[in-house]
Amino acid sequence: MRNALSLLVFTPALGAMLIAAIPTGAEVLMRRLALAVSLVPLAICVWIWSVFDVSRGDFQLVERMGWLPQFGASYMVGIDGISLLLIALTVVLTPIVLIAAADSVHQRFKGYLLAMLMLETTMLGTLVAIDLLLFYVFWELMLVPMFLIIGVWGGERRVYASIKFLLFTMVGSLPMLAAIIYLALQHAGAAGHLSFALEDLYGTHLSPMAAQACFLAFFLAFAVKVPMFPLHTWLPDAHVEAPTGGSVILAGVLLKMGTYGFLRFALPLFPDAMVAASYWIGTLAVIGIVYGALVAMVQPDMKKLVAYSSVSHLGFVMLGIVALNTTGVEGAIYQMLNHGVSTGALFLLVGVVYERRHTRLIAEYGGLWKQMPIYAVCFLVIMLSSIGLPGLNGFVGEFLILLGGFRFDRVLGAVAASGVVLGAAYMLWMYQRVMFGPVTHEKNLTLTDMTRRELATMLPLIVLALVMGVYPRPFFEVMHASVATTLAYASKATAARDQAAGNPAVAHAPAAASIRMREARGHAQPPVGGHAPAGAVAAPAAGHGEAH
């Protein structure tokens, strides 16, 4: 399969066209077909995983075609371990959302399925694009179906929420476009030909000022998406108004596009600027952890609570990324997956009772365990996954992030650890008010437990939460080499940063790790095309030299 990635990306869009041809009224057929279509990328992803070479840290399954040759833009796709994991997350969540749609979408059913499938194509496109222009197009196109999902199938204030969502993210990404163009032009000036291919742009020489400005533009685009404090306020509104499936994908995948962007683009393209800003970003991340948790605590609405918990959890991910050591970054990547699984499941669970009672207010519930024991147990497992109980997936990510974050900066690591306490506080408190105590509202006395279909959406996520907590090795094996490559871009800059911080012992940590990784795997490749960045080869040696 030479075009595996293209097949992966465009199958949902092709399927959407097929479904568009089905006349309105044949909802069951549409639903089944949509589910079948969404299972194809899942199967392709399994195949990709099976052929993926975990020992290589460069891009694999690369496809390159001329797109707009006169502008140097090409259709260039490829994956490394980081994008593979996020692709896996996307193709697992989409079928689940399509199954759940039958319960949560009551009008314009076809349109919803189409929007979801188109969304899948754009998300996958964003993850496989390794040409900056192609990436940007997918990145922006991704907004359209999500905007529609909130705006058409959303709640009462859907218009406000969808516009806010659009404004925040658009304002964030426009400067990024300018930066991309600037970067390509700088490269063209030096190399003599215009190119937007990521491999070409790595190592483009920029003046420190220009690099910082470009980094800032990328930062803004990604930070809004994550979302980082204080750019997060679009998120609670978007979640509260979005239909269940929209929330699942928004939290499960879309937010990760921001954190993914930092690893794939911001860090390798502008390593010095990113390293220079790492304390600031780390500080914002930790503020986000604590702030999100505190604000989540006082939310009367379950969905808003989960939304603010995302702000807190994504703060952890950002802390792991800016720690720029293997443990922190790998923990961050794992936590992206965990958050997709557990928060996706939480939104589905909130949807279960919302469909029955048409309210998400915590105060409207109470004593549900008695009425819905299976629901209560599912909720319990997912809640425990979300608060990072060891043995479940969330712990692995959180632990590694905090471990790496603590190495990066003890104070930030320690404050972040308090987020673990607060996280347990708001979740357990909500759980208690919803599940325990006597049934206080008459309407809740007639609640029925989860249906088979609802269980079918929940069980895969519960199984994942367990497996990823007990046996995380396969996931980490996929990412090791890619993380080493990514960190190698920053190793020179991090070594300098840690020297400046008067912590020479830290200086060689990521570099040493990447060297070890290379030695262990024997033949880790430099990034595609042999355009090894200056940092990848020179820095580890330098780091070692300085440290000893």
> What is the footprint of other proteins within residues 398-437 (CB under 8 A)?
399-400, 402-404, 406-407, 413-414, 417-418, 420-421, 424-425, 428-429, 432, 435-437
Q: How many residues bind other proteins (CB under 8 A)?
A: 85
Nearest-angstrom CA–CA distance, 317 and 301? 25
Decide: is 162 part of the binding site for other proteins (CB under 8 A): yes
Decide: is 148 part of the binding site for other proteins (CB under 8 A): yes
Q: Which is nearer to other proteins, 18 or 170 (CB)?
A: 170
In terms of Cα–Cα distance, which of 12, 177, 5 is closest to 75?
5
Please answer whether residues 325 and 307 qualify as being in contact, where contact means their C-beta atoms are separated by less than 8 angstroms. no
Joined tokens for residue 337:
């997956």
The DSSP secondary-structure symbol of 23 reads P
Three-class SS state of 74:
strand
Nearest-angstrom CA–CA distance, 398 and 391? 12
Q: Which is nearer to other proteins, 60 or 326 (CB)?
A: 326
Decide: is 476 part of the binding site for other proteins (CB under 8 A): yes
Smallest gap from residue 107 Cβ to other proteins (A):
13
The DSSP secondary-structure symbol of 231 reads S
Q: Which residues within the stretch 1-60 sit at the binding site for other proteins (CB under 8 A)?
A: none
- Among 247, 299, 343, 457, which residue interacts with other proteins (rule: CB under 8 A)? 299
Decide: is 263 part of the binding site for other proteins (CB under 8 A): no
- Among 327, 444, 482, 491, which residue interacts with other proteins (rule: CB under 8 A)? 327
Helix (H) or strand (E) holding 78: strand 73-79
Q: Which residues within the stretch 171-190 sit at the binding site for other proteins (CB under 8 A)?
A: 177, 181, 184-185, 188
Decide: is 316 part of the binding site for other proteins (CB under 8 A): no
Nearest-angstrom CA–CA distance, 443 and 364? 9
Smallest gap from residue 181 Cβ to other proteins (A):
5
Decide: is 143 part of the binding site for other proteins (CB under 8 A): yes
- Among 18, 26, 42, 170, which residue interacts with other proteins (rule: CB under 8 A)? 170
Residue whose token pair is 């794992």:
334
Nearest-angstrom CA–CA distance, 457 and 100? 7
Q: Which residues within the stretch 202-231 sit at the binding site for other proteins (CB under 8 A)?
A: 230
Decide: is 513 part of the binding site for other proteins (CB under 8 A): yes
Distances in Å between the Cα of 194 and the Cα atoms of 73, 264, 388 are 8, 21, 47
Joined tokens for residue 495:
């070594």
The DSSP secondary-structure symbol of 253 reads I
Nearest-angstrom CA–CA distance, 171 and 168? 5
Nearest-angstrom CA–CA distance, 33 and 99? 11
Q: Which is nearer to other proteins, 71 or 280 (CB)?
A: 71
Decide: is 135 part of the binding site for other proteins (CB under 8 A): no
Compose the 272-291 pattern: x for residues touching other proteins by CB under 8 A, - for all others. -------------------x
Smallest gap from residue 497 Cβ to other proteins (A):
17
Nearest-angstrom CA–CA distance, 224 and 123? 17
Q: Which is nearer to other proteins, 22 or 152 (CB)?
A: 152
